[in-house]
Amino acid sequence: MISSVLEEKRRFKPTKQFLAGSQGPNEKALELIRKKAARNPEAFWKAQAQNLVWKKAPKKVLSGKAPHNTWFADGRINAAFNCIDVHLTTHRRNKAAIIWEGEPGDIRTITYLQLSIEVNRFAHALTKTLGVGKGDVVGIYMGMVPEAVIAMLACARIGATHNVVFGGFSGDSLRDRLNDSKAKVLITQDGVHRKGVATPLKAAIDSSLKEVPSLRHVVVLERTQQDAKMKMGRDVFWDQLVKGMDTHHEAEGFPSEHPLFILYTSGSTGKPKGILHTTGGYLTQAKYSANIVFDFQDRDLFFCTADIGWITGHTYVTYGPLLCGASIFLYEGAPTYPEADRFWRMIERHRITIFYTAPTAIRTFMRLGDEFPNRWDLNSLRLLGSVGEPINPEAWMWYSRTIGHERCPIVDTWWQTETGAILISPIPSATTLKPGTATRPLPGMDIDVVDKSGKSCKPNVGGLLVIKKPWPGMLRTIYGDEKRYIGAYWSEFPGSKKQAPFYFTGDGARKDKDGYFWIMGRVDDVVNISGHRLGTAEVESSLVAHPSVAEAAVVARPDEIKGSALVAFVVLRADVKPEYVAALPEILRAFVAKQIGPIAKPDEVRITGGLPKTRSGKIMRRLLREIVTSGVTTGDVTTLEDMTVLAALRQDDE
Ligand code: WT7
C-alpha cells in the first residue's frame, strides 16, 4: 500500500487574535461535543436539524438502510425560506446578504430584504409565466453575478430542482447535462466579463440548445449588452420576465427528501454523474458545517472564491452562509485582472474577514510573488480556508504568513460533491493545526482509513478513505442511474448482515497517531486539475471522437501549480496524412477544450504507435502514469500483451 515519506513536525495552536473574536468551542468543549455526537449520532443530527425552521417539524431522523437512507423524512421545509425569510424578522433584515464586485469594478450590495424581493419576483415569474412546477429541473448556466444566486434560491423556493452547469463548460457539455436531467428551463446571460473581455455566453450555446428537446424556455440576463439572438416564444430577458411580479411570495414546505439540486461531477467512466441532493438533510449539514468551520460572526464578510458551478459554490457561496445569516462577497471575474493583486485589493476595499480558496490558487499567487499581496492591507482577515485538493505544506506556510500574517488559522477542509458539505476539517477555535492535513472529521461523522478488507489501518499506514455511518448531507443517488450509484460508492465495501456498507470516497489517505487525516489523492481514474475533478475517461472519449484518433489514454502527472497535469497518449488512425501529424497535438488540445471546456484541455499530447494493454485488452494506465512521472516503469508487466509497445513508449519519452 501507499506509504508516506515526510513527517510534518510543525504545530499551530489557535492564535490569540483569532480567539479574541471567536465564539467557537475550545479544545475541551470540542472533545465533549465529539464524544456526545459519537455516542448518539441521531440525537446529534436531530439537534442540528432543529437549527432550521421547518414548515412541519420532523419526528423521524434517520430512516432506511444504507445506501438508501433518508433524513427527517416526515418533515417539510423550504430552503429559500431558511436562507432569507428567517432573517427578515431579525436585526439582519437590512444587513448585506451579498456584496458583489463585477470585474469592471462595479459594486452592488444586496440586503436580505432586497434579496427576498428579487427571489420572490423571480419565483413568481418561474411559476406563473414559464410554468415551472414542483420537481421540474431548471438549468443555470451563468457567471458569478448575484442573479445566479437569486436563480438558485428562486428554484428552491418553488420546489424546482436546479442544475447549475459551470459557465466555463462548452455548449456540448451543457447540452449533455441538460438532456440527462431533462431540464425544462435554462437561465443564462448574454455574456460574461472575464480578463477584461466581454465574452458571449448565450450566442455560444444557441446551436447546442437546439439539441435539448425538453427545453421550453431560456431566460437571458443582460450583463454585457451583447447581442443575444432571442428565439420567439422560447427566450425571454430576465428584466422583462420579472417586471410587475409580486414581491411577496408564500413559501411552501416541501418534503425533506424533495430533490433540491442535481450537480454533475466526473467519475471514472466517460459520462459525468448527476449527483442528487435533497433538502432537509443537506440544509442541516450545510448550516452546521458552515457555522462550526467558519465561525460566522455578524460582522464577518465571507469570500469563498469558488464558482457556483461547483459544489463549493452551492454549499459555501449560497446555502451555508445564507442559512447562517452571513454576508457573502461575490466576485465576477478573473483573479489576475487587471493585475494579479485583485483578490488582495478587494479584501482591503471591502474589509473581507474570511477567505476560502483552493490550493491551486494559493500556489499560483505564491509563484507570482509577495509583491501583490503586500500592496494591500489584509488586516481585516481573521480566518483562511482551503479546499479541493491536498495543500502542500510549503503553500500552507506561505498562505499562513503572507496572507494570514500568522494571525489567521487555516481550515483545510476535505469533502466532495457527493458529501454535500465539509466532513473533515479543523475547528479554528480548537484544533492544533499541522500544515498539509485536514485534521479530523467533524463531530457526528464516522470516517476511517481501511484496507481492502475493510479493516482499520494502523496509524500512518495508507489505505482507503471511507465513511462508515450515513450523514444528512449525503448524496441520495446518481440522477437516473441507480446502478452506477451503487457501483461507484457502495460496492467496494458492501457490508454484511451485521455490518452496514461503507461509503467509499475514492480517496487514499492515512491517519497519523493523533487521528489526523492526510489525504493522498484519488485511487481511481479521477484526477484533480486545479482543484477541479475530471475523469480521464471523459477526456479520452473526447479525443477518440476526433476523426484522426484511433485510441487514446489519458493519465496525470504531478504539477507544481495545478496539482496534476493531463498527459494524453494518442494512437492515430492509419489514414492520417504524415504532414498533418506535427500539428495534431495542438489541434487535439483545442478539440478537447471545445468539446468539454478549457479545464479539460490536456497539457501534453503524445502521439504514439501503440498503447500498453493487458491480454484482455485493458489499457494499463499504471504504466503510462509511471512513464510520465518517472520515465521508468516498475512492477509487474507480465500481463502486458505486447512488450515492444512499452519499449517504444519509453523511447518516445527521450
Ligand atoms: C475530491 C472531491 C469539495 C469541494 C471541492 C472539490 C479532493 C477536496 C480536499 C482537501 C485533500 C481534497 C479529494 C476529493 N479534495 N478537498 N482539503 N484535501 N483533497 O469537490 O470536485 O467533488 O472533488 O477533491 O480527492 O475526493 P469535488
How is 403-446 classified by DSSP, letter by letter?
A: ITTTTS-EEEEB--TTT-S--B---TTTPPB-TT--BSBPTT--
Tell me the pLDDT tens digit for each residue of 327-357. Answer: 999 999 999 999 999 999 999 999 999 999 9
Residue matched to cell numbers 497519523: 512
Q: Does the domain made of 526-653 have the CATH classification 3.30.300.30?
A: yes
One CATH from 3.90.180.10, 3.40.50.10490, 3.40.640.10, 2.30.38.10 for 447-490+499-522? 2.30.38.10
Pocket test for ligand 1, best of 478, 519, 534, 564 (most atoms within 8 A of CB): 519
Judged against a pLDDT cut of 80, whether residue 615 lies above it is answered with no
Secondary structure (H, E, C), 445-513: CCEEEECCCCCECCCCCCEEEEECCCCCCCCCEECCCHHHHHHHHCCCCCCCCCCCCCEEEEEEEEECC
Which grid coordinates belong to 431? 484544533
pLDDT value for 537: 86
C-beta neighbour count of 229 within 10 angstroms: 9
CA–CA distance, 646 with 252 (Å, rounded to integer): 62
Instruction: Judge if the beta carbon of residue 506 lies within 6 A of ligand 1.
Output: yes
For residue 614, the 8-state DSSP code is B
Going through 305-367 in order, the beta strands assigned E by DSSP cover 327-331, 354-357
Confidence band of 637 (pLDDT split at 50, 70, 90): low
- Indicate the pTM of the whole model: 0.92
Alpha carbon of 60 to ligand 1 centroid (Å): 31
Instruction: Judge if the beta carbon of residue 359 lies within 6 A of ligand 1.
Output: no
Residues 6+ apart with CB under 8 A from 61: 42, 43, 45, 46, 49, 71, 72
Pocket test for ligand 1, best of 289, 318, 415, 492 (most atoms within 8 A of CB): 415
pLDDT value for 533: 86
Residue whose CA is at the smallest distance from ligand 1 atom 18: 390
Residue whose CA is at the smallest distance from ligand 1 atom 1: 416
Pocket test for ligand 1, best of 360, 389, 467, 523 (most atoms within 8 A of CB): 389
Alpha carbon of 414 to ligand 1 centroid (Å): 6
Residue whose CA is at the smallest distance from ligand 1 atom 24: 388
Domain extent listing, the chain: 79-103+110-252, 447-490+499-522, 526-653
pLDDT value for 488: 96
Judged against a pLDDT cut of 60, whether residue 1 lies above it is answered with no
H/E stretch holding 193 reads strand 191-194
Instruction: Judge if the beta carbon of residue 314 lies within 6 A of ligand 1.
Output: no
Mean pLDDT to the nearest integer, 103-132: 98
| CATH code that applies to domain 79-103+110-252 | 3.40.50.12780
Instruction: Judge if the beta carbon of residue 437 lies within 6 A of ligand 1.
Output: no
Residues forming a β-bridge with 503: 467
pLDDT value for 89: 98
Mean pLDDT to the nearest integer, 143-155: 99
Alpha carbon of 505 to ligand 1 centroid (Å): 10
Instruction: Judge if the beta carbon of residue 505 lies within 6 A of ligand 1.
Output: yes
Whether 402 and 358 have beta carbons less than 8 Å apart is answered as no
Instruction: Judge if the beta carbon of residue 188 lies within 6 A of ligand 1.
Output: no
CA distances 607 to 554, 577, 588, 654, Å, are 12, 14, 11, 13
Alpha carbon of 126 to ligand 1 centroid (Å): 34
